[in-house]
Amino acid sequence: MLLGGAGAGWGATLPPGAAAQEIEVDRDEPALITADEVLFDEPLGLVVARGSVEVSQGERLLRADEVVYNTRTDVVTASGNVVLVDPDSGVLFSDYAELQGDLAEGFINTIGIVLSDNSRLAATTGVRREDRVTEVERAVYSPCRLCEEDPTRPPLWQLRAVRVIQDRETQDIIYRDAFLDFFGIPVLYTPYLRHPDPSVEQRSGLLTPSIGRDGNLGTFVNVPYYIAISPSRDLTVTGGLTTDAGPLLRGLYRDRYGFGEIEVDGSVNYSNRLVDEGEANEREEQRLRGHLFADGEFSIDQNWRAEAAIALTSDDTYLDTFNITDADVLRTSGLVEGFFDLSYARAEVISYRDLRDQAIRQPLVAPMLSYSHVGTPGGLLGGTWSTDASFLHLRRNDVEVSRLAAEALWSRRDILPIGLVSDLEAGFRQDLYLGDGVTDPDVPDGDSVEFASRTVPHAAWRLSYPWIRDGDGYRHIVEPLVGVFAAAEIDNDTVIPNNDSLDSEFNDINLFASDRFTGADRVEDGVRVAYGVRNTLLLDGGGRADVFLGQSLRIAGNSDFPDGSDEERRTSDLVGRIDLAPIPELDFSYRFQIDPHDFGSLRHEIAANGEVLGMELSASYFFIDQSAGLGLTDDQAELTLAGSLPVTDNWLVDARWRRDLDARANREIAVGAQYEDECFIFRIDYRRDFTEDRDRDGGNSVLLQVGLRNLGQPVADPTPTPDP
């Protein structure tokens, strides 16, 4: 039934006994009422609706067993299973309510409110006024679900207060004379408490603190405060106190724009540290310490974008001491890059800082320029042309090097009717070096070499012949591969310094690469043949198995690439991998390098992860023999095991163990336990670190975190949304 009247109230004339009739009256917000029975008492000016009554007024909805509307006082009285749905304040439950005609103000008895996030507020009486404030007396608030078996049992935690005010305009819930109860037992009292309404997505305020003990910090407590600057900008300031390392102030600033984003993380501390005075003398002094990390990414236009990263620290043990990062090398850089249909351009500057105990002086690279262009496929001779050019200027200590490199490459792929896949490649590379402070090892007086050049024509031909068999529920692929690679012979032991090809390693990934060095300062020359076979099984249910084994044979030249071959034994080590995933939830991989003459293991890496009986498990193991060609003076072997087990729907335990098998020493042991439900999170972590570094000692650390939903616990993804 549509009722209307003057102002915001109801006003109508309805014939006696009419239960379903519409009366159009000029009013701003008409009300629609439906019920099993509607009566009109004309002498008293009452409209009485009984039986499954539903009244809608704008965006508000009222349900009750009986609703009486007084047309003279503009008062609505509802009784019996009263439910008031308000998009701003949530869903209210009661047994009796007196409201104004627009359902915005009034008195409610024995009230229960379900807020927008399903948290609940219950009280003995309540008053709605000014269309924005709900004020209740002797109230209890909790986001925790009640026990299904015994709803009268207290929830895990709740707030009890003499008075609670929900202000929809400021989006606040305010408590007067409040107690925080756990399992019905009061543990904290406060005369005043305020937290955001659950509908608030971003609000300044205290976040959940953390407390713990660490071998380097002693007992510590961190209290973060979140500052909502705008919907796309925020700042988190954390004040920390430690018993052994002084106070710590840390800030995290985040900002997002329609064209990019920036993030700045910094801290400052005043504490003792060891200062090296040379000749094995060290002294302890108090110093101002800190760090600054900053990252930014910006889109200049549809083709160009820029990035910048800053990583600074006061000393080499600060970051590890305060558990900020365990990085060994910090990288500060800036770049501009352009993306075009067939071209790519990049300009970059990079500096490094080594934080390790035996630090290596890191270079400053400024600038590093590169440009790449790819031609249209199917062009010259049915192939594709590409060109690459780069310029680099590097400075380390008193040595400066400039490198100009250019390469032209032609490639073509053909698939013959018999299924043979052919990949042809031919290229020409020219490198020019200018040096200052670079010495020639063949010159006795060590004169500086100012200029060096290198010309390298090269070619490659790769062939593969995949055999495919489809069966019932599987596909089996056997693919033999062979490649021939040739490049002009050069002398890598020249005055050309090696800055970017120091970490090259031989594996199954680069076996068929034209140049297996990772950088441009070293070139793989001569003639070699690579061969191998890949065996793949794919199951319809998602399982798979992939096995690869390969080797290379040097025909001419003596490359410095560490593949195990030498002047006497021209064959390389055997390399391969085994990948197994019998089901999508379980994955196993094994990569290896084996001496083909005595089949001794030079390097192997094992990794496995998956879900077994509800447990998330992972394991990794690697071994590198000192003779594997990586420049090691000792064997290296390490084992890492990690896993997590959901004990119940709410409890989770996890653990991690890392051990140096060569040194027969543990490196890290960590265990943790977590309880989480819809309203509460508790986590405790124990970690034993066996690493020592000057003024940083390994030791035990314990971290305790407790979070209450809507009371300082951050949401799962607090990333601010960007401005349009």
3-class SS string, 354-407: ECCCCCCCCCEEEEEEEEEEECCCCCHHHCEEEEEEEEEEEEECCEEEEEEEEE
Contact 290, 318 (CB under 8 A): yes
Can you give the pLDDT at residue 170? 81
Q: Which residues contact 551 (CB under 8 A, 6 or more apart)?
A: 511, 530, 531, 532, 571, 572, 573, 574, 575, 596
For 238-252, 257-271, 628-642, which range has the lowest pLDDT when averaged over its residues? 628-642
At residue 697, the pLDDT reads 62
- The number of distinct structural domains making up the chain is 1
**Least confident segment among 269-278, 304-313, 588-597:** 269-278
State residue 722's pLDDT score.
Answer: 39
Average pLDDT over residues 55-82: 84
The pLDDT of residue 283 is: 63
Interatomic CA distance for residues 431 and 390, integer angstroms:
10
Query: Any bridge partners for residue 500, and if so which?
Result: none
Evaluate whether residue 60 is within a structural domain. yes
The pLDDT score that the predictor gives to residue 205 is 85
Instruction: Check whether 447 has a pLDDT greater than 60.
Output: no
pLDDT of residue 294: 96
| Of the candidates 497, 504, 530, 498, the residue with the CA atom closest to the CA atom of residue 518 | 504
The answer, as to whether pTM is greater than 0.85, is: no
**pLDDT for residue 48:** 86
The average pLDDT across 5-26 equals: 34
Report which of residues 685 and 3 the model is more confident about. 685
Q: Which residue has the higher pLDDT, 216 or 319?
A: 319
Picking from 426, 411, 430, the residue whose alpha carbon sits closest to that of residue 459 is: 426
Q: What is the distance between the alpha carbons of residues 536 and 544, in angstroms, rounded to a whole number?
A: 7
First to last CA, the chain: 44
CA angle 650, 91, 161 (to 5 degrees): 70
Q: Which residues have CB under 8 Å from 156's CB, separation 6+?
A: 144, 182, 183, 677, 679, 680
CATH number of the domain enclosing 79: 2.60.450.10
Note whether 27 and 20 are within 8 A (CB): no
Q: Give the mean pLDDT of 641-670.
A: 91
pLDDT tens track for 97-134: 888 766 667 777 878 888 777 888 888 888 877 667 88
Average of pLDDT values for 286-301? 93
Least confident of 113-122, 323-332, 367-376, 524-533: 113-122
- 571 Cβ contact list (under 8 Å, min separation 6): 551, 552, 553, 554, 565, 596
Residue 491 carries which side chain, given as an amino acid letter? D
What is the distance between the alpha carbons of residues 271 and 264, in angstroms, rounded to a whole number? Answer: 23
Q: What's the CA gap between 225 and 232, in Å, rounded?
A: 17
State the residue for tokens 């106070």: 247
**To which residue do tokens 């501390």 refer?**
269
Q: Does a structural domain hold residue 461?
A: no
- Average model confidence (pLDDT) across the chain: 84
pLDDT tens for 139-157 read 888 888 887 788 778 888 8
Residue 18: pLDDT band (50, 70, 90) is: very low
pLDDT of residue 299: 94
**Does residue 101 lie within any of the structural domains?**
yes
Phi, psi of 320 (to 5 degrees): -75, -35
CB 287 within 8 A of CB 314: yes
Instruction: Please report whether residue 700 resides in a domain.
Output: no
Q: Is 249 exposed, middle or buried (0-12, 13-18, 19+ CB in 10 A)?
A: middle
Res 678: pLDDT: 85
Confidence of residue 411 (pLDDT cuts 50, 70, 90): very high
Q: Which residue has the tokens 């009661």?
A: 94
Which pLDDT band holds residue 720 (cuts at 50, 70, 90)?
A: very low
pLDDT above 80: residue 47: yes
Q: In a 10 Å sphere around its CB, with 0-12 CB exposed, 13-18 middle and 19+ buried, how is residue 454 labelled?
A: buried
81-95, 171-185, 461-475, range with the lowest pLDDT: 81-95
Within 13 Å of residue 324, how many CA atoms lie on the same side as its CB?
27
Q: What is the pLDDT of residues 705-718, one digit of tens each?
A: 888 887 776 533 33
Q: Could you tell me if residue 20 is inside a domain?
A: yes
pLDDT(13) > 90: no
Q: Which residue has the higher pLDDT, 692 or 641?
A: 641
Does residue 35 lie within any of the structural domains?
yes
d(CA 58, CA 10): 13
From 24, 21, 103, select the one nearest 59 (Cα to Cα). Answer: 103
Q: For residue 24, name the pLDDT band (cuts at 50, 70, 90).
A: very low
Q: What's the whole-number mean pLDDT along residues 563-571?
A: 77
Report pLDDT for 30: 66
Q: Percentage of the chain with pLDDT > 90? A: 39
Q: Supply the range of the domain harboring residue 29.
A: 2-146+163-168
Q: 536 pLDDT exceeds 80?
A: yes
For residue 126, the model assigns a pLDDT of 81
Cα radius of gyration rounded to whole Å, the chain = 36
80 domain residue, yes or no:
yes
Share above pLDDT 70 across residues of the chain, in percent, rounded to a whole number: 87
Does 33 reside within a domain? yes
9 and 100 in contact (C-beta within 8 Å)? yes
